[in-house]
Amino acid sequence: MLHVPHAGTHVPTWTRPHLLLDDAALAAEVAALTDHRTDRTALDAAARARVRPWVAVNPVSRFVVDVERFPDEREEMAAAGMGAVYTHGTRGQRIRADDPGHRDALLAAFYTPWARRMEKVVAHRIAATGRCVLLDVHSYPPDPLPYELHADGPRPQVCLGTDPAHTPGWLLDAARDAFGAGVALDTPFSGAYVPLSRYGVDARVAALMIEIRRDVPEDTVVAALTGLVDVVGA
């Protein structure tokens, strides 16, 4: 399955008054942090693959809810005010007041339904094939943004984010072969998405985060991702 959590830009009307930024400032934040075109990349790769994978594209902006972050103290980015519900933006500026009630409403409206959807897809694939491989598709800028906690590391053309329990060696080898030179592991970002009920406890779920530096040509990325999907689906 190709999982695309950060391509969305939609900010539902009822959530907008809780964001403290004016329209121009919010547009700048969305432009900086959205994984633009990763939805198209994933869909194009899926269309070209020998066996079409499932594709899950989240349409809602991560400035509403970040569906990939842990919703609790496990989330490293909570230290920067950017856990599942952001209170701070890319420059460390306050973008949302601390409002537990609104946070709970956002999680109920967006985080929980997305998590349930992913749980169902993973369960379906395990029932059908005995396993599920999640390829988590992202992009990142060539130059670090102020919010990044690990901005001093290398910024390769392709960052492969791994999880010690869910990223098997064969999947890493396949990704390295598909993307070729310019690949590095867990820099500047690390980890890979796994539904919480299976995280750390179900080895049938394999996961890899693919972070594409935004100056890499899209055609190159689509071809490499298609090749990886073909290996995974063989």
Specify the number of domains making up the chain. 1
Q: What is the CATH number of the domain that holds 224?
A: 3.40.630.40
Report the greatest alpha carbon distance in the chain. Answer: 49
pLDDT over 80 (residue 213) = yes
* Within a domain: 206: yes
Helix (H, G, I), strand (E, B) or coil at 98: coil
Domain enclosing residue 152, as ranges: 2-64+118-233
Q: How far apart are CA 85 and CA 69, in angstroms?
A: 9
Confidence band of 62 (pLDDT split at 50, 70, 90): very high
* Within a domain: 79: no
Q: Which tens digits make up the pLDDT trace of 65-99?
A: 999 999 998 999 999 999 999 999 999 999 999 99
* Within a domain: 22: yes
Short-list 134, 169, 153, 159, CA closest to 211: 159
Instruction: Kindly state the helix (H) or strand (E) to which residue 137 belongs, with its residue range.
Output: strand 132-140
What is the spatial order of strands in the sheet that 2-4 belongs to? 55-57, 2-4, 132-140, 205-213, 158-161, 183-185
Confidence band of 48 (pLDDT split at 50, 70, 90): very high
* Within a domain: 88: no
Specify the amino acid at residue 38: T
pLDDT over 80 (residue 4) = yes
What is the residue-averaged pLDDT of the chain?
96
Query: Given this model, what pLDDT does residue 8 score?
Result: 98
Specify the amino acid at residue 93: Q
